[in-house]
């Protein structure tokens, strides 16, 4: 059994979806592990991860619209230490995922044809986000 790790730093431009599939694929190529399990972990409470369609950008627009509807800014949140987008960002992160598990087969992520790995930035302003990749296998 072998293990490999890498930390990705993603510079966001504010709220939105940032595809990191290519960075994940680069890591898997460099790790040289043929079969295993990849963990992708987001080290933040106001950003998250998703595997979703990467072909039609309308999917991302619709997901953002849905998240805005279920965790709107301007609601009567008690926690607003960093501004009106603070608590909605925490809610969005709690309702999505901060960790993904992806099988690795033949040295590549076993994603479906239309699947991509995305960092979801839930804050309005740009941030520097850290994503940890951990691969175990042989």
Q: Which stretch of DSSP H or E encloses residue 126?
A: none
Residue 74 has pLDDT above 90, yes or no: no
Q: What is the pLDDT of residue 34?
A: 98
Q: What is the pLDDT of residue 136?
A: 98
Q: What is the pLDDT of residues 28-51, one digit of tens each?
A: 999 999 999 999 999 999 999 999
User: What is the model's pTM?
Assistant: 0.96
Calculate what percentage of the chain has a pLDDT beyond 70. Answer: 100
Q: What is the pLDDT of residues 110-128, one digit of tens each?
A: 999 999 999 999 999 999 9
Concatenate the DSSP letters of all residues of 9-60 into one string. EEE--SSEEEE-HHHHHHHHHHHT-SSEEEEEEE--SSEEEEEEESS-HHHH
Q: What is the pLDDT of residue 56?
A: 96
Q: What is the pLDDT of residue 80?
A: 85
Q: Which domains does the chain have, with CATH numbers?
A: 2-137 (2.60.120.460)
């Amino acid at each position: 059994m072998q293990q490999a790790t890498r930390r990705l730093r993603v510079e966001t431009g504010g709220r939105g979806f940032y595809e990191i599939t290519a960075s994940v694929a680069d890591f898997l190529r460099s790790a040289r592990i043929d079969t295993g399990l990849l963990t992708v972990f987001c080290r933040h409470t106001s950003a998250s991860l998703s595997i979703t369609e990467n072909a039609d950008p309308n999917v991302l627009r619709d997901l953002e619209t849905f998240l805005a509807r279920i965790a709107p800014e301007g609601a009567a949140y008690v926690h607003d230490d960093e501004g009106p987008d603070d608590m909605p960002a925490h809610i969005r992160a709690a309702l999505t995922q901060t960790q993904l598990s992806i099988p690795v087969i033949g040295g590549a992520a076993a994603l479906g044809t239309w699947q991509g790995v995305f960092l979801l930035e839930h804050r309005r302003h740009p941030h520097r986000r850290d994503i940890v990749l951990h691969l175990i296998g042989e």
